[in-house]
Structure formats: C-alpha cells, structure tokens
Structure 1
C-alpha cells in the first residue's frame, strides 16, 4: 500500500467529486458549479493538486451512479497517484449508511482518504467515527421521512377516491375542475370494455380475446392483459394495500369506470370460479424458531432448517442442515447468543445522551443554513396581494374568466411551493423524534426482542444483520452487521473507561467494520 504524504509542503493529489440529484434546487448551494468552485478554493488554500473532477447528476440512494463508477475504476487503477477524494458534505457522497462504510473502506484499503471539506473528520480518532455515523444517517432518515410523507399523501388521496399513481392502460391522468389529478378514459378504453364483454360471453378464453383485441389495434402483452382483467380500477374501485397497522381496503373511486361492477364481478367469477379477488397468503413462521432463515450452515452456506425432535420424555428444538453437512445446533444456544449480542449493542444512558446531543446539534446547524429568511415571507405576502388584485379585476370585468383562471393557477402554484418549504422545516422535528424514540428502544433492545411477537422479532433480526450469520468452530461468524450498531458498541465501551490508544498515521475506517470471526458478545455453543 502506498504510504501517505510525509509533510505539508508536498503537493497532495486530490480528486474532486461533486453531485446534485435532479430533484435538488441549485439555489440551495448544491449546484455542481458552486460545489466545484468551493472545492477548488479549498485545494488552493491547502496545497492540493487537483488531478480529476467527477460531476454527477444522480441520486445518492445507492452508489450505482455512472460518474462514481468511473471514479472508482480510475482509483483502483491509479491508487498510487491519489491521496484524497474530496467533496463538500457527506450527503453529497452518499445517503445510504451501510453502503457508505463499505465504499469508504474500499478507498482506505487503496490508501486513499475520503473527506468532506465542510464536515471534516479525523477518523484516526475513534470518537469521530460516531460523527460519521450521524453525518451519513441523517440524510438517509430524511429520505425515509420524505418517502413516508409521499406514501401518506398518496394513501390519503386513494382513501378519498382519487387515484394518483401511474395510470393503467385505458386511462390518462387529467385534471378536474379544481385542477387536481383524476383518471380519464383514453382510446384504449373501448378495447378493455370489449375484453370484459367477450370473456363474459363465455365463448372465448383469455388468449382468444387477446388475439381479437390485437387484430383491432390493441397493444399489450399476455401477462399485462391478465393483470388488466383483474384490476378493479376499471369498474370504479380503488384497491389499497395493507400498510403498517392499516388493513387492505377497497374504496369507491371518483373517476369514470370503463365497465360496470356487475360485468367486472362476472368476469372474475368466470376466471377463478368465485374465489375472492384479494385473497392474502401468509407465510407461517413457527414462534419457536425466530432465527430461521437467518442462520447459515458453515459448510454449504445455505440457511439452516428448523425442527423439533422427540426424545424419551419431551421434544428438543434444533437448527440443522441436511446431509451430507449434518450441522446441528440447539435452538436454545442460538437464541442465548443472540440475546447476549443484543445486550452488547444496547445503548447505555451516557452514550444515548451523547449521541442524541450530536444529532440535535447537527440539526441546529443545518436548520440555520436552510432557515427561511424575510424574503420568503415577503413573497408569500406579495402573492396574497396579487391574488386579491386579480380577484378585483375579474369582479370588475377587466379580465375574462380564462385569463383569471390561468393567472390564479400560476400564483397558487408558487404559493403552495413556498408553503411546502415551511413544511420541510417542521419535518425536522419529526425526524428528531424518530431518532429519540429509536435511541430509547436501543437502551433495552434485548428485552424488546424477548417480549416481541414472532413477526417483530424477525424484523429486528433483519435490521441488525443485512445478510445472514453463522456458527463456525464453536464461534459466531459474520462480516456484515449494521455498522451503526457496531459503532454504538464501541462508544459504549469507550464511555465505560477511556484508554490511551495508538493513533494511526492515516485515516482508517477498518475499526468500524467487523472482521471475520471477531464478534461482540461472543457465546460458545458447547458443540
């Protein structure tokens, strides 16, 4: 591995990475030009030689980005000529916490340091690793909150009978008298109506009906056609999937149906012989084996099976593999290890207070940079005044109805966009509450697991282990545990008593990722 630069007088070789997604506004300081200029100024002041600039117009939800792939490929081929990769803030680098740690470690293994000039971190100091977790997790939580808000808004519209997702074949998305989205039948509607009528006649099967429609100009695939004749949207009903504590439901839509409910139900009856259209299938999981599908066989690396074996006087529970592996563990031993592991990642009071303070301070700093200034409220006031003047002009007959509606829509659209910015400010409080609740649950996560039902236990396991874990040579081995939980473990230990540690000469994130065979709260199985 290439040795890092020896002193500050040697020019350091840096690659600049700038990114802005298509849904981000340039006036927030995220524009490519603004980022690049700030990075160049920083390099000039700090004696960096810029050897490359990568400009990305892509979302940071994953690292599957065209320019970042080129950057990674270049770095692997030219690692000896690169000292650092610089960007403005950590959310410009990524909004995916788990993937970020893996990518950063890849660069570190190449001898390349990654850092944000406005949120610089010295990761040779273990305590600063938790700040990295904060910087990376806050944008990810913001994305999740935004996604939940979108889902909530869509479900609210669905419950009101307004279909706001992508229109199915036979419909286009139009606008009603209030300029709100509503489905409107298009040219394909007549073909879909014909399809239901032909099937209801009982003279044609689905394939024959599809062939007839295709000859008349209807274009669709066989699988898509099968979905069309099952979609209750065509008879005016909107099917809403179950979500969290809400059960699935069907509501009356406000759009124009293409077929009648009677015709739709008749076709369903012909297709499946009277079975309910929205029958749900549930995969049953035995509560005795909450870790089933999560524990891997150390020999074949397939998920272990789970079953009970009858002894002389009682049944014994095991996680086991099939021949020729013959791997077998007592279910009691496996679950005892998992409970010990949960105790290891439980967040003690001191660490909980420290971490939440860091998160809160970060939000305070962020809210200052994104605060709505006087200009924002002046715009709102101006728009209200213009709407009043517009209404007066219309009442006085100085403008016609068409011009009035066009101007009114334009002003109201701008007004709603400004109000949305205010809502985004209030969302920060919701995100902070989400963090607080999550940290509180981590204080006794082992008890939470023990007292949860089987579904909640399995969700908890999946959130801790993105992949699977296994036993090997009487020890639990895994290389993929949620990195934030690992960092919490190290902070817990650090707060119990700080010890002097040797500081590496280069930034290294290897201590944030588990090495194979080294696990917290290790329990031997006794086999």
Structure 2
C-alpha cells in the first residue's frame, strides 16, 4: 500500500486529503491513525527509498527500498507545486491551441457538454458554417492518418535484422556503461568521505555538511537504481525491440 500511495500521489491528480481518504478505505493506518499530516510525513520520508534521515542528516540504510528515488522525487515536486497558490488557468483540454478552422482560419476551442468534449470554431473574425465535432472523432481521424504513415513491413524486417547485428557490440557497450556508473558511485563515496573530513576539520558547518551530504547520498541512490534497472533490462532489450517491430 505504501508504494501505491506514492504512485497515486505522484500523478498530481489528487490532493493529500483525497489520497488520505482513498487509502484509509483500503486499510492503510499508522499507529496514531492516518491524518493528512501523517500522510504528508510518509510521502516526505526517505526511508522508503532505502535512506534514513536522522537529526536532519541522510544516511544510507541497509533495508530494501520500497520505491525508487525517481518516484520519491516526483512526489516531492508534486507537493511543492501544490503548495503554491493556484492560478485560474484554462481547463487542460487535449487539443487546446492545436487547430485552426479550415474555413475561416479562427482558432478551434473545446467545450464540455453532457460529459463529452466538443471542438468548435470560435468564429471571432468571419461568419463560419462549421459545426461542433466530438473530440473522440478527431482522435480517431488522427489515428487513421498516423497509420497511413506507419513503416512498411519490409522496413521493419530490415530494422529487425540490423537490430540483431548490433547485439554482439551491445554486450561490450553494456559493460562499459555499467563500469562507468560504478565509477561514478565510487566517486560519490569519495566525495562523501571528503565531506565528512571537511566537517571534522571545521571547514564546514554542521548545516552545510548535512545539506551537501544529503545531495550526494541522493545522487548515489539514483545511480544505484539506474545501474540496477539497466542490468535488468539489458538482457532482453533486443527481444523487446523485435516484439515492438
């Protein structure tokens, strides 16, 4: 449920109150209940990405992460964005600002009527005879035209053959990439150690040390996740490409 909580909030669709209500219904409760503030504390706690915050300092934990650092960071961005005053913006219609009327040249706008979105000409400059069109009809027409420019089968066959030729060289490239990430992780370890020495030698204040270390530990966690994801996907990348083609 914790992972699902982060995934749900990261979409930016729900407020903290709405997320709390949804997960209370699913049975997610803390020792002192799941208030809005507790929900916020969960979403800002780095322990779920394998890190531990202790006295405002971040440490690498030995436990298995529940979520990725990327998902955690997405939630922080959503929370930061939602904390800002809301502006009275336009409703985010799919085709807003995309089209002009083929008859009079005015912009096409979108309106919602009885649960359906309709596109129509604004008719601001000249008289126009064009009528409303359902949004899904426009989407269907776009999909049909995209199909017309899809790659021919002989092109796909050639791409699959070329993809197969690349497999041998990809193994070597994968090893180089993996080693590069490991070197970057080692470099961050070295920086963290130097940072501690600088603090012990009074070259940095405690606040400066904690802030810098938090950034380095976060970067290291991202690299570790990147390396793990790469190692999991590298062995079946070409098989996936063939299925896609």
- TM-score, normalised to structure 2, is 0.37
The higher radius of gyration belongs to 1
Q: Which is richer in helix?
A: 2
